[in-house]
Amino acid sequence: MKTFKLGELFAGAGGLAWGAVHAECARGGKIIHAWANDCDPSTCATYIKNICPDAPDTVICCDVRDLNLDALEEIDALAFGFPCNDFSVVGKRRGLLSANGGEAKSKILEGFRDAGYKIFPHLYKFEEYGVPQTRHRIIVVGIRNGIEKSFRPPSPAPYSGKNISSQHALECPPIPPDAANHERTKHSPDVVERLKYIKPGQNAFNADIPPELQLHVKSATLSNVYRRLAPDKPSYTVTGSGGDFFIGADDFD
């Protein structure tokens, strides 16, 4: 079986790598991990556990600007998911498509072309592919000039009708009590009372909450603050802030 070596920048905990090394190639072949880079030690440790427990030295933990590319093994493919903070709806941007009046997207795509690649950008809506989360991301596939191949986004049709509700994702199968990093949050009495007034799909700023329990914050009205999931719909985009979300409001600690 032909193998293709994968290198990664901004590797994170291994999400892209996990999908790549477990992908089934229609014409045979397999993607294998070669090396990865990230700047956060805990993230690198997680990547090693998820992707390459027998080759920890292949994960280089450093600022990408300090990475010695000449010392790395040659690869067949490069994957990178650079931080999306500047383009996130949580921050001041509306998304990569419209950031800086569209200039950011044009600059990035121009860089790919200048580097010698045919590029195939596409906005993927993950909930259309069976993921119980409304996470929308632009993924750019590049094929080096001179390789007579093209790329088409995969059809979401095979996932049509799949149950991707947040309740189904969390309860089928249920999360075991001893799951790692799954400790229940200890809420104050005021928070418990506030949550009781929030209906499915609402948050602390659009729910009918008594004045004494309302959040009197003028500078921030983020949609995921005290947000309650709608059990029959996919989750909203889960952020890296570790904020709480919940389905029911009947049982709090």
Catalytic residues, by residue number, are: 84
> What tokens does 45 get?
């440790």
Residue-by-residue DSSP string for the chain: --EEEEEEES-TTSHHHHHHHTPPPTTS-EEEEEEEEES-HHHHHHHHHHH-TT-GGGEEES-GGG--GGGSPP-SEEEE----GGG-TTTT---TTTGGGGHHHHHHHHHHHHTTEEEEEEEEEGGGGT-SB--EEEEEEEEETT------PPPSGGGTT----HHHHHHTTBPPTT-TT-PPP---HHHHHHHHTPPTT--TTTS---GGGS---SS---TTTTPBP-TTSPBPPPPTT----BS-SS---
How far is it, in rounded angstroms, from Cα 69 to Cα 107?
23
Longest dimension (CA), the chain: 66
Q: Give the torsion sign (CA, 11, 81, 239, 229).
A: negative
Which of left, alpha, beta for 100 (phi over 0: left; psi -120 to 50: alpha)? left
